[in-house]
C-alpha cells in the first residue's frame, strides 16, 4: 500500500454540445435540468462541468460528494479516475485506483463471467498468477455459481452488478471511487457490498463516494463537499452533512 494522495488544483472540465442553438428553448431547458454553466460559440454550446475545483486528500480520508443531478459529481470522479483530461488545472492521484463508476464499464458482454474477472484484473495490473489465486474467491463472492461460465449478455442487471462489483473490489486499492454503487442490486447484494466496502474503507487509502443518501454518506465518509453547477464548496467534516444537504 503506497501513501495514497489526491491533489486537484483549479480543475476545470468543459464539454462542447454541437447542433444546439444557444438561443433556443432546447438550450434553456438543458440549462435547467443538466446543470453546468453554458457558453455559446458560433457552432456549439459549451458546458463547464467543473470550475476551478481544488481538493487535497490523504490516506484515511473518506470524502462524500453531494449535489443535484448534473452538479459535476460523476465528472469529478471520472477526472480522478483518469478518464477525463482537464481543460485547465491538474489532477494528481498517487496509488492504485479502483473505480466503480459504471456497471458496464470494462465489461465485455460476449465474454464469460470468469473471462471478465480476468480482464478487469489484468487491466488493473494484476499478474496472471495472482488472478488465478483470486478467481475462486471472487467467484464465490458474486454468488453466480455456474453462470460464471456463461456470457455476461445472458445476465440480468443485478447479476452484472454483482460481477462488476466483485471484480473491482477484489483489488487492494489505494484509492476507491464510487458513484451511487450501493443503490444497485438486490437486498442480498447490497448487504454483501456494504460489508466489503466497509472492509476496504477501514484499510489504508482514500475513498471518494458520490451519493444522495445521507445514511450511506454518514456510514462511510468523514468529510463532505457539495457541488453546485460544477463549483465545489469548501471541504468540511461529515458532521455538517445535514446543513449542506439542506442547502
Residue range 26-57, pLDDT digits in tens: 555 555 555 556 565 555 678 899 999 999 99
Query: Which position has the higher pLDDT, 186 or 179?
Result: 179
Question: Cα separation of 120 and 126, whole Å?
Answer: 9
Q: How confident is the model at residue 89 (pLDDT cuts 50, 70, 90)?
A: very high
Rounded Cα distance, 187 and 193, in Å: 10
Distance CA 174, CA 168 (A): 13
Residues 204-224, buried b or exposed e (16+ Cβ, 10 A)? ebbbbbbbeebebbebbbebb
Answer whether 55's CB lies under 8 Å from 21's CB.
no
Is the per-residue pLDDT at 24 higher than 60?
A: no
For the chain, percent of residues with pLDDT exceeding 70: 85
Dist CA 215 CA 220 (whole Å): 9
pLDDT at res. 75: 94
Taking residues 189-216, report their average pLDDT.
81
- The CA distance from 64 to 238, in Å, is 8
Mean pLDDT computed over 118-139: 84
Model's pTM, two decimal places?
Answer: 0.78
37-40 and 97-100 strand pairing: unpaired
Tell me what the mean pLDDT of segment 12-27 comes to: 69
* pLDDT exceeds 60 at position 152: yes
Instruction: Assess contact for 124 and 96: CB atoms under 8 A.
Output: yes
Question: What would the grid cell of residue 206 be?
Answer: 482514500
Which helix (H) or strand (E) element contains residue 236? strand 236-237
pLDDT at 25 (0 to 100): 47
184: confidence class by pLDDT, cuts 50, 70, 90: low
Highest mean pLDDT among 10-19, 29-38, 68-77: 68-77
Closest CA to 99 of 212, 175, 204: 175
Which cell numbers hold the place of 87? 481543460
Angstrom distance (rounded) from CA 46 to CA 89:
18
Task: Decide if pLDDT at 154 tops 90.
Answer: yes
Amino acid at each position: 500500500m503506497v501513501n495514497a494522495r489526491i491533489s486537484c488544483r483549479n480543475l476545470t472540465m468543459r464539454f462542447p454540445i454541437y447542433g444546439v442553438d444557444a438561443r433556443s428553448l432546447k438550450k434553456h431547458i438543458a440549462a435547467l435540468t443538466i446543470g453546468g454553466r453554458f457558453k455559446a460559440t458560433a457552432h456549439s454550446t459549451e458546458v463547464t462541468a467543473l470550475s476551478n475545483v481544488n481538493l487535497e486528500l490523504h490516506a484515511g480520508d473518506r470524502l462524500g460528494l453531494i449535489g443535484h443531478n448534473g452538479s459535476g459529481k460523476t465528472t469529478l470522479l471520472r477526472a480522478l479516475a483518469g478518464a477525463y483530461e482537464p481543460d485547465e488545472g491538474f489532477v494528481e492521484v498517487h496509488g492504485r485506483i479502483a473505480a466503480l463508476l459504471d456497471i458496464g464499464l470494462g465489461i465485455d458482454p460476449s465474454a464469460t463471467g470468469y473471462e471478465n474477472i480476468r480482464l478487469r484484473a489484468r487491466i488493473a495490473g494484476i499478474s496472471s498468477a495472482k488472478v488465478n489465486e483470486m478467481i475462486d474467491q471472487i467467484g464465490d463472492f458474486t454468488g453466480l455459481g455456474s453462470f460464471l461460465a456463461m456470457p455476461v449478455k445472458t445476465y440480468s442487471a443485478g447479476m452484472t452488478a454483482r460481477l462488476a462489483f466483485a471484480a473491482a473490489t477484489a483489488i487492494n486499492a489505494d484509492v476507491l471511487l464510487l458513484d451511487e454503487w450501493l443503490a444497485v442490486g438486490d437486498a442480498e447484494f447490497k448487504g454483501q457490498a456494504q460489508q466489503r466496502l466497509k472492509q476496504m474503507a477501514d484499510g489504508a487509502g482514500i475513498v471518494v463516494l458520490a451519493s444522495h443518501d445521507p445514511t450511506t454518506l454518514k456510514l462511510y465518509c468523514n468529510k463532505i463537499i457539495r457541488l453546485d453547477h460544477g463549483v465545489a464548496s469548501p471541504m468540511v467534516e461529515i458532521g455538517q452533512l445535514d446543513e449542506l444537504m439542506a442547502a
